[in-house]
Amino acid sequence: MPATDALGQRFAAAGSQARIASLVPSLTETLFALGLGPQIVARTGFCVHPRSAVRGIAKVGGTKDVDLHALRALRPTHVLVNIDENTRETVDALRGFVPHIVVTHPQSPADNVPLLRLLGEAFGGVPGVAARAQALAQRMHAMLQTLQALQASPRRVLYLIWRAPWMTVARDTYISRSLAAVGWHTLPAVQGGDGLQRRGRSRYPEFDWDAPWLRAVDLVLLSSEPYRFRPAHADEVRAALAARALHAEVHCIPGEWASWYGVRALRGLPALAARARRLAAPPGSHATDCARRA
């Protein structure tokens, strides 16, 4: 669930003078959808949506290597961070010069509804923001209900996010729960912790192709992010499976469908559900372009 800063401080609703820095790509896109573009003064290099709008906003490094000196110079009044995507060290440093820090931690598609309401409350002093947040929250709720009816037949899935070392997702991550929402249940069946105390490898574990649980996998998905998997990588995975007499299908999907929360989930999750239904059809008509983006 999304939250305010770790001390539980309640910040006042921001007015038109708010200067917002977003260190979370999904939230940057959502801020624009709420009409807060004029208030955004900083973003990470991974904040690429909406493409035309973010070009004019200063970059302050990446999600894990924020340029604190550059960010301080931009004098933000609010900084948006995420427990999985940003480091505790960054947040601790921000507290020295940022009045309001909004810490988010959506752990399932359902958390998008309170996330939108949180942002509507935090920036409700900007005209129109509260109403837009409420409307988007209502659309999200309706979409999530519809998603239940769109589930394809259950599949046991290995979702790849990195290569060398090979890495996947624990079942209590937002990604795994997004996949489960369309009938794709990830393996291995491990829990990574809530992210507050356990991070990194526990939530995004490494594995090797000799792991015994791989025999239960019937679908391998190569995500387009954070590692940009390409067709050659799909061939590499097929070869690794064949060498061990494993017979899972291998396909590529845009990572934004499963990993981006906020406003992107309104079209990402239905797209994920549509792909799940398509892959439930007989093999032969499945898209496998690893370069495809959302």
Q: What is the CATH number of the domain that holds 271?
A: 3.40.50.1980
75 domain-assigned: yes
Q: Answer for the pair 22, 57: CB distance below 8 angstroms, yes or no.
A: no
Helix or strand or coil: residue 222? Answer: strand
Determine, yes or no, domain membership for 86: yes
The token pair at 165 is 């070392």
Domain boundary among 120, 146, 172: 146
In angstroms, rounded to a whole number, what is the distance separating the alpha carbons of residues 42 and 161? Answer: 27
Distance CA 85, CA 96 (A): 20
Residue 55 within any structural domain of the chain: yes
Does 177 lie in the same domain as 120?
no
φ/ψ (deg, to 5) at 72: -60, -40
Query: What pTM, to 2 d.p., does this model score?
Result: 0.89
pLDDT of residue 290: 61
Q: CA nearest 28: which of 72, 69, 100, 79?
A: 79
Q: Are residues 202 and 140 in the same domain?
A: no
As a whole number of angstroms, the distance between CA 123 and CA 100 comes to 11
The pLDDT value given to residue 224? 96
Q: How confident is the model at residue 200 (pLDDT cuts 50, 70, 90)?
A: low
Length of the chain: 294
Q: Which domain holds residue 56?
A: 20-146
CB count in 10 Å sphere of residue 163: 14
The per-residue b/e assignment along 23-36, b for 16 or more CB within 10 angstroms, e otherwise, is bbbbbbbbbbbbbb
pLDDT in tens, 202-235: 899 999 999 999 999 999 999 999 999 999 999 9
CB 209 within 8 A of CB 244: yes
Residue 288 predicted with pLDDT over 80: no
Task: Examine the domain organization and report whether 99 and 41 are in the same domain.
Answer: yes
- Do both 193 and 87 map to the same domain? no
Count of domains for the chain: 2
Asked if the model's pLDDT at residue 76 lies above 60, the reply is: yes
In a domain, 160, yes or no: yes
Look at residue 294 and tell me if it is in a domain.
no
Instruction: Select from 114, 146, 178 the last residue of a domain.
Output: 146
53 within a domain of the structure (yes/no)? yes
Q: What is the pLDDT of residues 106-141, one digit of tens each?
A: 999 999 999 999 999 999 999 999 999 999 999 999
CB-based contacts of 267, cutoff 8 Å, min separation 6? none
Q: Are residues 224 and 267 in the same domain?
A: yes
> Does 93 share its domain with 131?
yes
Answer whether residue 263 is part of any domain. yes
| Residue 282's pLDDT band (cuts 50, 70, 90) | low
Rounded CA-CA distance 270/260 in Å is 13
Q: Binning pLDDT at 50, 70 and 90, where does residue 198 land?
A: very low
Residue that terminates a domain, selected from 146, 170, 205: 146
pLDDT value for 15: 65
222 and 104 fall within a common domain: no
